[in-house]
Amino acid sequence: MYKIESPLSVAFKRTFGSSSSKSSDAQSERQTSIYSPPFHSSQSGYKMRARFYLNGDENARRTHISLFFILMRSEYNAILRFPFNYKVTFCLYDQTPTQQHIIDSFQPDIKSNSFQRPRSEMNIVSGIPKLCPLSTIQQEGNPYVRDDTIFIKIMVNFGDIPKTLLPFALNPNLGFPVNIQQTMIKQEAEKRTQQTSTPSAT
């Protein structure tokens, strides 16, 4: 399942079933990866999806969760700018009040075929092979797996969100309407800018 939250981001969840079946599937590698449903940056924007490896991919196999970003062919690609050059951020949600989310980002390599105008249904994946150690989510009572479910958010930074603001931008109250979430992020950015530019009293 997934939920479009704004033109910049998408959140989806992965439900494993029982803990025993999750462990069995990981060990036997019956299901090496899953795709998120496609999502768009806007009604006539970029078409994208994610590919998620619970048991890791290639050099990260059996050691880390791997998460990749994919550009897809769409009817609007002819009028969009390529190569795709917008920073992509992944967030694995901490489902407790502690909110120690695991966040990692990458800047597209515009020379890579992954970020050129798609000529087939999907481009080659690109992303974070070692998003999170498997040992982290395999620990009993870890904050990232609740009821055999994890939540992942993908944010494409079409604007200029500073790195220091990412934890706030990735963590609004998802029960709020999208416009309220965006307003909160904008207000927080303005607040931090003012604090930085205002000299401290002596």
Q: Has residue 28 got a pLDDT over 60?
A: no
Query: What residue spans define the domains of the chain?
Result: 2-159
**Nearest residue to 70 via CA among 91, 55, 84:** 84
Q: Helices (H) and strands (E) in the chain — how many of each?
A: 4, 10
CA angle 137, 30, 58 (to 5 degrees): 65
- Which contiguous run of DSSP H or E holds residue 178? helix 178-197
Tell me the percentage of the chain whose pLDDT exceeds 70: 70
Predicted model pTM: 0.75
Selecting from 2.60.210.10, 3.30.70.20, 2.60.40.10, 3.40.190.10, what CATH number does the domain 2-159 have? 2.60.210.10
User: What's the pLDDT tens digit per position in 77-130?
Assistant: 999 999 999 999 898 999 999 989 999 999 999 999 999 999 999 999 999 999
pLDDT at res. 183: 72
**Res. 170 pLDDT band, cuts 50 70 90:** low
CA–CA dist 148, 146 (Å, integer): 5
Residues in the chain, total = 202
Peptide bond into 83 cis (omega under 30): yes
